[in-house]
Structure 1
């Protein structure tokens, strides 16, 4: 078991206080958006080299297939899609051949990996996930008295379903409405909210987003998307090809170790609306929520994909012998609350407090946790300590 020192990302949508507070330190007034726990080349965790310095986790673990992040947003993130494996590989090879530096702002495919991901809420967490059904989009558009929304509704009636919704999105991104038109639509949304009318929070969402991104086409696009609110302890899975935009809150993200993002609104970063549309896959937030399975009596396991799983284990003094965690193999761990100690198969001990991260592998065998608190563990489902079904 090795304690990790993990890099942070200072994106403009980050919080000045949430992550520093989570890590039990004072902020410097600058936004801290993410902590990267893993071996991605754009943000690799470090371990003690035993000589008073540090070395990359890759020297110990190799290149991990998964990554764990701590994310804190105080304003909406970009409207985005992550590519499938085939698109990621083709896009990466094309940009490599074109000689675009991997750190260049216009670089889209930073690696050849897809990026399915799951979010686990540490606070109330709001996000937009997937397109609303055709009938619901029409219900959203009809009360808004504006030529653009009238035209959108007319086009969708003539071409309903997923293909028609994508066509509508493509039209919005190809010829974005002016800032004045976006403002007019927001005023219609504000009027509807004032009259006590809202369709599954579509209008309130547009009003909220416009405060941070006035005049942005993403404000109008948000009307087409499902708003999903996760309470602490709840999770949602965002597969490759699913359009989404996180709005606010703090969460853990577990994902394939990738930084491939295609954006098309609500951002100051490079946008690729054509690429985003090409990467879209059908998906609805109705199935985004992930229901955990119980491992033992103290651990929830969220395992929505073959690439990764996330376990959350509660520990207390009621279990002085410790709680067994449900995995072996390579694991990334973050203490999400309290003060805990990890014990490996040799009874070696690693103390962790809220915000601390660690790495474990096959040499550690089965891990136990003692103390009072909570620990999150990202791992490959193939490294599970046993079939969950056998424990239910």
Structure 2
């Protein structure tokens, strides 16, 4: 059980204050800070800090003794690789609209691009990793997102509410086939529209959205999103595609699970994200980066429904966000201001602990580690069970990331 020193990723959509203030650094930061990475991805592995203050890459440490660090079961299933990556996301502006491949698609795509000699950091590389990238995001603040295709019947109601002469043929297309096939056809048409066609279509759509918002219409939130995206990404086909997706507002502690093929875009807010240890992204818009339309269409799931929001499963003092992903499982412990109870954290698997509020003391009976906001710790699989308790006044929040249990999710609203 040792502290981690983690990399901050400076993407343009990040906040100049959120991560800086969480980590106790000068705020505002000189540049946007978007993600704090905790794990052993080769792109930015965490560094383990021993009691003497010496640091070593978590990736190197796992490679040196995988069975001690990961446990025999994890090594048997995943090899000498920590299968999950934990992040804090600080989104000041929308992220790109994107989806991630299944395990089979990732393995095939990675092998294909390796054989073609495409550099892993090339702008047109889709599959830098040979593994899937399911993910779960849990809100720390109010968190706004687009995720999953909305029921076509509801989407038709939205398209009628903002109907324009230019939009009418597309609405009629979906009305003639209000199912996954119709969604695929409409999305494909929109994402491949020439720039001149987008330039003719979007201004009237924006006017209709303004009117709908002023009239306090049923789809005011979706219309405000179209207007915001249109301002941030003028002429981008992702603005149109946003009309097809569920628009979500998560409260603190609420989470969504995004399996392979789920088209999504995080819009703003702060959240903890856990995902398979992969950086495979197929972008679909809201970005100046490479968009590979044929490959995106190959991995997208056009199944539609309301996007399930989970508050986690109650397991004693732990709230466990269980999913079908075998690579990861995320749990959360929250102590109210007057609550000072110790909470058991079972061992036997590799774990990363992350404190997001207050101060938490974690110990195994022989030694203790104090975690403050933004601090995290690496716990090898061979370490014993731990006890965690808050220290000081106020609330305290601790997240525990580990390998998955292959169980379905529960606690959905």
Could you say whether these structures have the same fold, taking a TM-score greater than 0.5 normalized by the shorter chain as the test? yes
Length, aligned pairs only: 384
| Gaps in structure 1 of 5+ consecutive residues | none
SS of 1:277's partner is helix
Task: For 2:315 and 2:291, locate their aligned partners in 1 and report how far apart those are by CA, in whole Å.
Answer: 42
Please report how far the alpha carbon of residue 159 of structure 1 lies from its aligned counterpart in structure 2 after TM superposition. 2.2
Please report how far the alpha carbon of residue 154 of structure 1 lies from its aligned counterpart in structure 2 after TM superposition. 1.1
CA displacement, residues 263-316 of structure 1 (integer Å, 9 cap, x when unaligned): 0210122111221111111444624312412222x3211111233211111247
Q: Which of 376, 379, 384 is the matching residue for 1:365?
A: 384
SS of 1:381's partner is coil
Indicate the residue corresponding to 1:20 in structure 2: 20
CA displacement, residues 88-116 of structure 1 (integer Å, 9 cap, x when unaligned): 11111111111111111211111011111
Task: For 1:289 and 1:266, locate their aligned partners in 2 and report how far apart those are by CA, in whole Å.
Answer: 24
CA displacement, residues 216-252 of structure 1 (integer Å, 9 cap, x when unaligned): 1111111111101100111111111111111100000
Task: For 1:332 and 1:190, locate their aligned partners in 2 and report how far apart those are by CA, in whole Å.
Answer: 45
1:78 aligns with 2:96: yes
Instruction: Please give the TM-score of this superposition, normalised by the length of structure 1.
Output: 0.92
Indicate the residue corresponding to 1:275 in structure 2: 295
* Alpha-carbon spacing, 1:257–1:272, altered in 2? closer, same or farther (3 Å): same
Indicate the residue corresponding to 2:33 in structure 1: 32
Task: For 1:322 and 1:186, locate their aligned partners in 2 and report how far apart those are by CA, in whole Å.
Answer: 53
- C-alpha RMSD of matched pairs (Å): 2.2
Task: For 2:302 and 2:327, locate their aligned partners in 1 and report how far apart those are by CA, in whole Å.
Answer: 20
Indicate the residue corresponding to 2:162 in structure 1: 144
Task: For 2:108 and 2:32, locate their aligned partners in 1 and report how far apart those are by CA, in whole Å.
Answer: 34
Task: For 1:7 and 1:193, locate their aligned partners in 2 and report how far apart those are by CA, in whole Å.
Answer: 41
1:94 aligns with 2:112: yes
Indicate the larger mover: 117-126 or 196-205. 196-205
Task: For 1:302 and 1:69, locate their aligned partners in 2 and report how far apart those are by CA, in whole Å.
Answer: 15
CA displacement, residues 69-98 of structure 1 (integer Å, 9 cap, x when unaligned): 000111111111111111111111111111
1:2 aligns with 2:2: yes
1:115 aligns with 2:133: yes
SS of 1:364's partner is coil
Task: For 1:222 and 1:317, locate their aligned partners in 2 and report how far apart those are by CA, in whole Å.
Answer: 40
Indicate the larger mover: 99-108 or 116-125. 99-108
1:173 aligns with 2:191: yes
Consecutive aligned runs of 4 or more in structure 1 exceeding 3 Å deviation: 49-53, 282-285, 315-321, 381-384
Instruction: Please give the TM-score of this superposition, normalised by the length of structure 2.
Output: 0.87
